Amino acid sequence: MADRAQGPGPAGGRNRVTIRDVAGRAGVSVATVSRVLAGNYPTSAAARAKVLRAVKDLDYVIDGRARALAGTGPRTVAVIVMSVDSAFYATVAQGVEQEAAARGRLCMVCSHGGDEARELALVQMMREQRAEFVVLVGGAVENERYRARLTEYAHGLAAAGSRLVLCGRPAPGPDTPVLVVEYDNEAGAYAVVSHLLAAGHRDILYLGLLPGHTTVEPRIAGYRRALADHGLGPGAVRPAGRGLGRANGYAAMREILAECGGRPDFTAVFAGDDMVAAGAMAALREYGLSVPGDVSVVGYNNDFVAQDLNPPLTTVSIPAYELGREAVRLALAEEAADVPRGAAQSRHLLGTHIVLRQSVAPRR
Amino acid sequence: MADRAQGPGPAGGRNRVTIRDVAGRAGVSVATVSRVLAGNYPTSAAARAKVLRAVKDLDYVIDGRARALAGTGPRTVAVIVMSVDSAFYATVAQGVEQEAAARGRLCMVCSHGGDEARELALVQMMREQRAEFVVLVGGAVENERYRARLTEYAHGLAAAGSRLVLCGRPAPGPDTPVLVVEYDNEAGAYAVVSHLLAAGHRDILYLGLLPGHTTVEPRIAGYRRALADHGLGPGAVRPAGRGLGRANGYAAMREILAECGGRPDFTAVFAGDDMVAAGAMAALREYGLSVPGDVSVVGYNNDFVAQDLNPPLTTVSIPAYELGREAVRLALAEEAADVPRGAAQSRHLLGTHIVLRQSVAPRR
């Protein structure tokens, strides 16, 4: 009652209905009501209809802390991304959401737009809301400041009974208590560059530099290893571009083609991601160069767009959706096994594979 | 204190640090701390660094209810979508997030995957968390059940001091207390179909039926009106396909081309969205038909993919990002003007325009 008395806003007077009233009105058990409201499965359509009707009739507002104390009602899983409008982030978030839903959890996706203060505020909010676990998605530029921040998140969430889950990025340190679900970024790059080498290409540009970035560096490492394993010296390593994304890929390729007067001294491009490839291919077209006739292009991620690019893009498929689902499965498995939240980190690696389309031709 | 005493989990013992302790440690005001944690702007980089350092040093956990009572700390805005992996939903959510951040709010994006019970549970959760307002994004199939549900949401949120905002979908009824931000769906369809007619096309297929859907029906209405205004009888109206999205567009076009043995009796296709167009163009290619040589194709939305399709797609640009930003601006303007939360609805309409690319040719 204290909670309600103190509750701000006009709702103060409207929170008197309890989950028991709803159960009574619906003629079902309290557990059924909480399952229905939590989206827990299975619940019969009939029971669900009765509960939703009763909730509406009584204008029931779930009381968060009462719920937390009673242990009823939906548990929540949080996903924190840089932005929600990238295919990779959205697909991972979708995977988390779907698996969380199947396990009767609600899922919240928040983005920080690269602002540290907002990222911290979001993590704090999730601690305070007792999110079961908090999934940080995607790569980041690693430096001391970053490692310190992530280490604080991990310990802070563990102290609050929650767990930090890193999806598609490495742990900030060997002893940080995090659950890490990654994909084999370096091996995917090795495979797709090897495919270009097998087609006879020797002058292969890497497009999409992002120094210190945990996603980009392994891709460049795989590219370097493939070139070396095919007997090409360090001189064959040709990194270019500033950052990922279509705009960067387009601008970088325009610049390169302007410098060489539209006569490139490379026959293939390994783009840091599919959007870089899309931008680079648009720039090549503008200079009257054909893909793959004049220049072969490969990407990374197998975005929605890859299959519809002109030509359809040979790229590396990363298990974005599975990353999200695995993150939830593994985090809940830890809970079921009563692994202490502050426990040493556990790391899981998912595989990648090439998708062959029409953007690569044998070297002329 | 009662709040902390009752707080579940090991965090109970760690919540004693207050925002005043953080301010003291950082040597700044409490207001500055809450601005920094809220991501409120402007805060000097120096002040922010001090506060973040103090928060880490003291392992400060923001106390949600204390914050609410003190009126400090971040206010939250909620976005509820069907799924986070569609370009339209993601772009609108991004617009909400960016504008919310600029106004010092945190933004949570939740998806229900089309499950009514989950949608209700999410709305309940946002009520309970005192979200300033709740933005429902995108169209829906309208029926009595849907209208009743949305009306309940609107009144329930208003009663809790929050506000229902509909982004890209109409109000469920004339008296429902909602803020509606839409775009001119019908006019965009009229314009792009008129473009096909101006190119001499008379046999124009609409692809992507979704009966009763608030996004699709106005697009078909605009298509009908354009045909009628160009003196074509009802016989010229040729709706086909089941649903939006690439898979539906591909399957529907495959089916149509199979039936006519690859010799279509239409010269142009108005796709319900860009992904339908992408799927239809892939199917046309598989039948050796060229776009726009044999068949002209236009889409809707101007998705990320539209400019990179083969050929680049002529489509209708909808202000997805602006829809999100406007929703926040208008909702906060209402608050600033002390418009009662249960106030009669207000409706705002944003414009659409055609983007001409290479997927339309004059009729042979």
d(CA B196, CA A255): 37
Question: Is pLDDT of B8 > 70?
Answer: no
Residue A235 is assigned to a structural domain of this protein: yes
Place of tokens 């979001």: A122
Contact B62 A109 (CB under 8 A): no
CA A277 distance to own-chain centroid: 20
Question: How is residue A5 written in tokens?
Answer: 């008395």
Asked if A52 and A43 touch (Cβ cutoff 8 Å), the reply is no
- A198 min Cα distance to partner chain B (Å): 27
Q: Which of A1, A83, A108, A135 to mutate to test the interface with B (most CBs of B within 10 A)?
A: A108
Helices (H), chain A: 2-6, 19-26, 30-38, 45-58, 64-70, 87-102, 116-128, 144-159, 185-198, 216-229, 246-259, 274-286, 320-336
What is the domain-level CATH number for residue A81? 3.40.50.2300
For residue A2, count other CB atoms closer than 10 A to its CB: 10
Asked if B342 and B296 touch (Cβ cutoff 8 Å), the reply is no
Contact B55 A120 (CB under 8 A): yes
B110 and B37 inside one domain:
no
A304 and A217 inside one domain:
yes
Rg of chain B over Cα atoms, rounded to whole angstroms, equals: 25
More reliable by pLDDT, B62 or B105: B105
Residue A160 is assigned to a structural domain of this protein: yes
For residue B189, count other CB atoms closer than 10 A to its CB: 27
Beta strand B204-207 with B164-167: parallel, antiparallel or unpaired? unpaired
Rg of chain A over Cα atoms, rounded to whole angstroms, equals: 25
A99 and A118 inside one domain:
yes
Residue A361 is assigned to a structural domain of this protein: no
> Could you tell me the pLDDT band of residue B296, with boundaries at 50, 70 and 90?
very high
Question: CA dist B153 to A1, A23, B76, Å?
Answer: 25, 20, 18
Find the mean pLDDT for residues B111-139. 90
Identify the domain boundary among B70, B92, B123: B70
Question: Is pLDDT of B216 > 60?
Answer: yes
Residue A164, SS3 per DSSP: strand
In this prediction, residue B37 carries a pLDDT of: 67
Per-residue pLDDT tens for B64-78? Answer: 434 443 445 578 999
Question: How is residue B57 written in tokens?
Answer: 């040093």
Is pTM beyond 0.90 here?
A: no
Contact A111 B128 (CB under 8 A): no
In this prediction, residue A7 carries a pLDDT of: 32
Using CB atoms within 10 Å of the CB of residue A3, give its burial: 0 to 12 exposed, 13 to 18 middle, 19+ buried: middle
Contact B124 A61 (CB under 8 A): yes
B304 and B281 inside one domain:
yes
Question: CA dist B312 to A312, A358, B331, Å?
Answer: 13, 17, 37
- A35 min Cα distance to partner chain B (Å): 10
Low-confidence residues of chain A: pLDDT under 50: 1-15, 39-41, 64-71
More reliable by pLDDT, B287 or B34: B287
A192 and A293 inside one domain:
yes
- A283 min Cα distance to partner chain B (Å): 11
Buried b (16+ CB within 10 A) or exposed e, B40-70: beebeeebbbbbbebbbebebbbbbbbbbee
Q: Which of A3, A14, A97 to mutate to test the interface with B (most CBs of B within 10 A)?
A: A97
CA B337 distance to own-chain centroid: 25
Residue B357 is assigned to a structural domain of this protein: no
Q: At residue A162, what are phi and psi to the nearest 5 degrees?
A: -110, -175
Asked if B270 and B240 touch (Cβ cutoff 8 Å), the reply is no
Contact B98 A120 (CB under 8 A): no
For residue B191, count other CB atoms closer than 10 A to its CB: 17
Contact B110 A115 (CB under 8 A): no
> Could you tell me the pLDDT band of residue B47, with boundaries at 50, 70 and 90?
confident
For residue A237, count other CB atoms closer than 10 A to its CB: 15
A215 and A266 inside one domain:
yes
B126 and B192 inside one domain:
no
Q: What is the mean pLDDT of chain B?
A: 87
A311 and A328 inside one domain:
no
d(CA B131, CA B120): 15
Residue B362 is assigned to a structural domain of this protein: no
Contact A59 B156 (CB under 8 A): yes
Identify the domain boundary among B70, B100, B121: B70
In this prediction, residue A49 carries a pLDDT of: 80
A84 and A149 inside one domain:
yes
Question: Is pLDDT of B138 > 50?
Answer: yes
- What range defines the domain where residue B194 resides? 185-318
What is the domain-level CATH number for residue A52? 1.10.260.40
Question: Is pLDDT of B14 > 60?
Answer: no
Which residues lie below 8 Å from residue B357, measured CB to CB, with a gap of 6+? B306, B307, B311, B312, B313, B314, B315
A106 and A222 inside one domain:
no
Question: How is residue A250 written in tokens?
Answer: 């387009």
Identify the domain boundary among A34, A54, A70: A70
B92 and B139 inside one domain:
yes
- A269 min Cα distance to partner chain B (Å): 18
In this prediction, residue A38 carries a pLDDT of: 58
Residue B360 is assigned to a structural domain of this protein: no
Q: Minimal Cα distance from B44: which residue of A?
A: A117
Contact A117 B84 (CB under 8 A): no
Question: Is pLDDT of B52 > 90?
Answer: no
In this prediction, residue A40 carries a pLDDT of: 44
Find the mean pLDDT for residues B165-189. 94
Place of tokens 């939830």: A328
- Residue B161 has its nearest CB partner, among A11, A107, A278, at A11
Supply the angle between the helices B45-58 and B19-26 in degrees, to the nearest 10.
120
What amino acid occupies position B238?
R
Asked if B348 and B312 touch (Cβ cutoff 8 Å), the reply is no
Q: Which residues of B touch A48 (CB under 8 A)?
A: 117
Number of structural domains chain A divides into: 3
- Residue A61 has its nearest CB partner, among B65, B121, B127, at B127
CA B202 distance to own-chain centroid: 33
In three-state form (DSSP H/G/I as H, E/B as E, the rest C), the secondary structure along B155-204 is HHHHHCCCCEEEECCCCCCCCCCEEEEEECHHHHHHHHHHHHHHCCCCCE
Helices (H), chain B: 2-6, 19-26, 30-38, 45-58, 64-70, 87-102, 116-128, 144-159, 185-198, 216-229, 246-259, 274-286, 320-336
* Vertex B97 angle, CA B96 and B98, to 5°: 95
Q: What is the DSSP string of A209-225?
A: --TTBTTHHHHHHHHHH
In this prediction, residue A61 carries a pLDDT of: 62
A104 and A190 inside one domain:
no
Q: How many CA atoms lie within 13 A of A52 on its CB side?
A: 25
Q: Which residues of A touch B52 (CB under 8 A)?
A: 116-117, 120
Q: Which residues lie across from B135 on neighbouring strands? A: B79, B165
Closest by CA to B177, choosing from B342, B340, B339, B336, is B342
Q: Which residues of B touch A278 (CB under 8 A)?
A: 308
Residue A44 is assigned to a structural domain of this protein: yes
Q: Minimal Cα distance from A321: which residue of B?
A: B85
Beta strand A164-167 with A134-137: parallel, antiparallel or unpaired? parallel
d(CA A169, CA A176): 13
Residue A135 is assigned to a structural domain of this protein: yes
